[in-house]
Amino acid sequence: MAKILNIEQDVFFGNVIQQKLKETGFETIVVNSGAVALEQVHLASPDIIVLDMEISTADPFALLREKQSDKTIKDIPIIIISRSGDLAEVKSALNLGVNDYLVKAQLNLDEFVLKIKNQLSKSPAVKNAVNTLMGKKVMWVEDDQFLSDLISRKLGNQGSRLLYSRTGEEALKILETE
């Protein structure tokens, strides 16, 4: 499960995001103070950071510069949430290593989740975790052929030895021999 650190000053908005991410299967930590944000990045070791550019307890650009200069956290993907989508703000943030952005006034939570998944799919840490499936036996039980084909392709690309069953009964029989 990917871990997301959400640096969000607005407690209500932070809770809305946390709930959506939990429903999607992510572990989420919300930090409401920019003053402790970088400390929390080091403590939590998140897979991705979401930063509210409206945070008033710290300068968000100073946080981005500090993150960029710290070798231990520099490569953690970061998505900013801009209040208005101001082009100068977004461009400055992108120049400081930000991977993607959203505009708070136009925030669509499903789009937000897609952006997070997109960044995680590019992350070396997540790719390395997936690569640990190389040579491993992986079994799944799925009665929908389309979904099963998707799973098969994804796991097959990871070099896994695949064991598949359409039903729970079949799965138990396979497990007895494997």
- Take residue 140 and report the two structure tokens written for it: 């799944």
Q: Phi first, then psi: what are they for 166, rounded to 5°?
A: -85, -25
Q: Is the pLDDT of residue 48 over 90?
A: yes
pLDDT digits (tens, 9 = 90+) for 100-116: 998 888 888 988 998 89
pLDDT digits (tens, 9 = 90+) for 7-38: 998 899 889 999 999 888 899 999 998 889 98
pLDDT digits (tens, 9 = 90+) for 118-136: 888 876 555 454 456 667 7
For the ranges 43-52, 86-95, 121-130, the lowest mean pLDDT is seen at 121-130
pLDDT digits (tens, 9 = 90+) for 141-156: 988 887 777 777 777 6
Global pTM exceeds 0.85: no
Q: Is the pLDDT of residue 66 over 60?
A: yes
CB 97 within 8 A of CB 78: yes
What pLDDT band is residue 3 in, cutting at 50, 70 and 90?
A: very high
So what's the pLDDT on residue 159? 66
H or E stretch including 101? Answer: strand 100-103
CB 102 within 8 A of CB 81: yes
For 150-169, what is the mean pLDDT? 78
Please give the mean pLDDT across all residues of the chain. Answer: 85
For 42-71, what is the mean pLDDT? 92
